[in-house]
Structure 1
Amino acid sequence: MVLARNDKIKLALLLGLWFLVFYPVVPEMVRDWAGHSDNNHGFLVPLIALYLIWQKKDELLSAEIDSSKWGAVVLVAGLAVFLLSFAGGVAFPARVAMVLSLFGLLWFCTGSAWGRILAFPVLFLLFMVPVPVSVIGLVSMPLQLMATKVSAKLIEHCSIPVYREGNMLFFVGTQLEVAEACSGVRSIMSLTMLGTIFAYMSQATWKRRVVMVLAAVPIAMTANIIRITGTGILAHFFGDKVARGFLHEFSGIIVFVFGLAVLGGLYKLLNRKKVA
């Protein structure tokens, strides 16, 4: 069912008001996307969400349009959380509330049928909200140490003498630091986002979809360990220059492609038998 012209105007005005209310948190969030490599994927999330909505255009046109009181509840709750968070200077809940209130607004204005169709594309916008630095700091160090320890063991199996101390790898002629940027947090966030998209596109059961999302974490961690191990082996033969500049960035791209390929293979494996 197509929205009437007056309904389109009302919805456009409400969306405009929603944007004006939440605009104060947008510039700082965009700066976070641009200023930290772990958040660069935030630029892509709105575009992906729009594409997912466009894919559902035929379903939206045939779905019944109504209003939903539950949508109003979500909208009011989102606005309340935003006002409290914004007044208290807490960015993360305010940004989450922005996404939730958008979903509540659309659900309230278009009804349950549209709400079900729009739920994933709109809530997918939560991936554009940067994870708080405190949380990243909490998980990055254990990931650094774990990746360094496993990589040291793998390098030793290649008959290369290496000594590990914390997140440092010491070789005969050089040393290599596994920095916070190499903890794998970036890969985990990116591959989890892609795993969620794969799960959404999948025709498999919900259990298999959950497996697909959760598998993104060990895949990202494994890919990161492979990157550190490979860099360590190259550093042993060619010095620590391989861990800087173009080679470092290029290895990151290669490892991400590897993780994406494994995730794609898992997607095909879990969708071999379609479940009605």
Structure 2
Amino acid sequence: MPRRDPFGWISGSCSALQEPSSAAKGLVEVPKRVSTAARDLQLLEPTWALARIGIARMVPYAGFLLLIALSVAWAWQPLITVIGRSLKSGEYEHYSHIVLLPFICAYLLYLNRDAILRHAKPGPRTGILLGLAGTATIWFAGTSVIGALGNRLSVAMLGLVTVWAGSFVICYGVRGLWTAAFPFVLLIFMVPLPPAALAAIIWFLQRTSADASALIFALIGMPFFRDGFVFALPGLTIQVAEECSGIRSSLALLISGLVMAYVLLRGTWTRAIFILVIVPLAIVKNAMRIVVLSWLAIHVDPSFITGSAVHRTSGIPVFLASLTILGGLAGLLRRFEQKGAAA
């Protein structure tokens, strides 16, 4: 008679516990599949985050471009007039820089894009107010009698720049505009100078260039007699005319200097020193051109003054030399800044 195992039921139970059923195995595998799916989602999170950041950046950018396009479509007439005059630099020499300014400002905004986005917070109320003020200014310039065409054009372009600033505030906020202040300040140079202001600036450059020329003539020992803007030189009489004021090259030098100060320098004092040098350098540049051409006319050929190609094109190398001087000064000031930061 076989011996009964009084604990057989325990052995059976233990074997049952040691070998889980297929259903139990399925239940054990579910958490593994869930954990794998969760891990995949975690891997996808950075991709979704980058996508959200890209969309967040593109929305204000696209909105700003749309508002700019709408403003240009509405106020195309003063803008086309200004660009047309800029392309006719021989006739409107003080407009020659305008056609390049939008591209320069767009590049500066691109360089500063990270700082702008850090401070970006759309400001529709303030932006709409600025836009309405600019729109009203453009409408006023086109419908009212302000005076000369140059005055109306100046007012209309000022209104258009204001609309662009308002569009930027709508998309990026007031703090964003403050961060991008320099490119928008530079856009002010797209506003043509009113005739009265232009005449005053030309007279200032004309007078100071004549004064500087007289000083250089005296330093090099050139005998002369001066009567206002007229110089009586040995065998030659010259007049520092409005065309000799160098208004075009002086404006170009000023804009180039401001961009250099913004891009290359960081300190407030170094930027201020650099900017203060620009106007005296423009005056000396004009005077050096007058003196060199006069010396060549006396000692080489009178045609250097009376209308030769050298007379017409001499402003280009003189401007490039002035730009080189500014670049050297910017390099020195930047080195000074770096030494101060290292100390």
- TM exceeding 0.5: yes
Paired residues of 1:81 and 1:94 also in contact (CA < 8 A):
yes
The 2-side partners of 1:171 and 1:156 are apart by 12
1:74 to partner: Cα distance: 2.0
Describe the superposition over 1:166-223 as per-residue Cα deviations: whole angstroms up to 9, x where unpaired: 2222223222222212113223311211121122114432232233223211111111
The 2-side partners of 1:3 and 1:87 are apart by 41
Structure 2 residue identity aligned to 1:48: I
1:65 to partner: Cα distance: 4.7
The 2-side partners of 1:146 and 1:113 are apart by 40
Bigger drift between 97-106 and 149-158 goes to 149-158
Structure 2 residue identity aligned to 1:238: V
Describe the superposition over 1:80-104 as per-residue Cα deviations: whole angstroms up to 9, x where unpaired: 2222222225221211121121011
**1:150 matched to which residue of 2?**
212
Q: Looking at CA atoms only, which structure, 1 or 2, has the larger radius of gyration?
A: 2
Is 1:262 the counterpart of 2:318? The answer is: no
Paired residues of 1:75 and 1:105 also in contact (CA < 8 A):
yes
**1:234 matched to which residue of 2?**
296
**1:249 matched to which residue of 2?**
312
1:62 to partner: Cα distance: 5.7
1:242 to partner: Cα distance: 0.6
The 1-side partners of 2:63 and 2:241 are apart by 51
SS for the counterpart of 1:273 is helix
Aligned with 2:73 (options 3, 13, 20) = 20
Paired residues of 1:149 and 1:164 also in contact (CA < 8 A):
no
SS for the counterpart of 2:96 is helix
Paired residues of 2:109 and 2:180 also in contact (CA < 8 A):
yes
Q: Assess, with a 3 A threshold, how the Cα gap between structure 1 residues 146 and 118 changes in structure 2: closer, same or farther.
A: closer
Aligned with 1:215 (options 277, 280, 296) = 277
SS for the counterpart of 1:164 is strand
Identity percentage of aligned residues: 27
Paired residues of 1:187 and 1:256 also in contact (CA < 8 A):
yes
Greater length-normalized contact order (CA 8 Å, ≥ 6 residues apart): 1
Q: TM-score, normalised by structure 1?
A: 0.87
Paired residues of 2:101 and 2:186 also in contact (CA < 8 A):
yes
1:229 to partner: Cα distance: 1.2
Is 1:198 the counterpart of 2:260? The answer is: yes
Describe the superposition over 1:104-131 as per-residue Cα deviations: whole angstroms up to 9, x where unpaired: 1111123245433433223322222222
1:10 to partner: Cα distance: 4.9
Root mean square deviation, CA, Å: 2.6
1:273 to partner: Cα distance: 1.7
Q: Assess, with a 3 A threshold, how the Cα gap between structure 1 residues 7 and 51 changes in structure 2: closer, same or farther.
A: closer
Structure 1 residue identity aligned to 2:207: L
The 1-side partners of 2:60 and 2:218 are apart by 67
- Extract unaligned runs of 5+ from structure 2: 1-52, 147-151
Q: Assess, with a 3 A threshold, how the Cα gap between structure 1 residues 215 and 32 changes in structure 2: closer, same or farther.
A: same
Paired residues of 1:32 and 1:130 also in contact (CA < 8 A):
no
Q: Assess, with a 3 A threshold, how the Cα gap between structure 1 residues 108 and 148 changes in structure 2: closer, same or farther.
A: same
Is 1:106 the counterpart of 2:173? The answer is: no
Is 1:46 the counterpart of 2:102? The answer is: yes
Aligned with 1:36 (options 92, 99, 121) = 92
Aligned with 2:337 (options 256, 273, 276) = 273
Structure 1 residue identity aligned to 2:72: F
